A and B are shown apart, each in its own frame.
Chain A
Amino acid sequence: RKEVEQDPGPFNVPEGATVAFNCTYSNSASQSFFWYRQDCRKEPKLLMSVYSSGNEDGRFTAQLNRASQYISLLIRDSKLSDSATYLCVVGHNDMRFGAGTRLTVKP
C-alpha cells in the first residue's frame, strides 16, 4: 500500500464548478498535512496547510479526518488558473507526497 494515495484524475471541469480531491495516508502517526499545487514543468508550491479543525482560504477548503486517515481539498468557483496538479503531502519524520491529482478547468 502506498503511503499517500490520491485519485490521479484527470478532473475536467467547467469554470465556476466546485471540485473535491481526496487523499488517504497509511501512517497513523503522521503529524502534519499539506496541499501543494504543481504547474506543468514547474516546482511544487505550497497551497495550504491542513489543520484538524479544517481550514479555509478564499475558495479553498481543506479537511482532515484522522480517524479515517483522510484529507480533502475543496475548490469552489473554479478558475482557469486553478488548472494544475494538486499534491497531497503528509509529514511524520519527513514528508511524503502523493502522486497528484490533475485538474483542468475549461472555459
Chain B
Amino acid sequence: KAGVTQTPRYLIKTRGQQVTLSCSPISGHRSVSWYQQTPGQGLQFLFEYFSETQRNKGNFPGRFSGRQFSNSRSEMNVSTLELGDSALYLCASSQIAYRYNEQFFGPGTRLTVL
C-alpha cells in the first residue's frame, strides 16, 4: 500500500498570499487530520475530516480551513498568510480500528512565509 502523500513538499509564499496544501491518504482510510508543527510548539491539531465532514477543529483562526473529497483526499487552505504561519504541515490518515486508531503520517509540506 502506498503511504500518505502530501504535495507540494516545499512552498515559499509572501505575507498576505493564500496557499492550498494537498494530502492523499492511504487507500481505504477515511479519516484525515492536519497538524502544524513548529519548533518548541510540537504538533498543534488543526482539524480532522471523516467522510467529507469536519469532525474536530483545533484552536486556529478562521484563516485556516480545509475540506475532504469523496475519495478521502483532503486539502488545507490558509488565507492571508502571516510570518507566523511558517511551519511544517503534517497530514495523517487513519482507519478507525476497533482497538486503537493508529495515525499514519505523510512527510509534510514545509511552508515558508516571507
Q: Tell me, yes or no, whether A binds B.
A: no
Which A residues have a C-beta under 8 Å from some C-beta of B? none
Which B residues have a C-beta under 8 Å from some C-beta of A? none
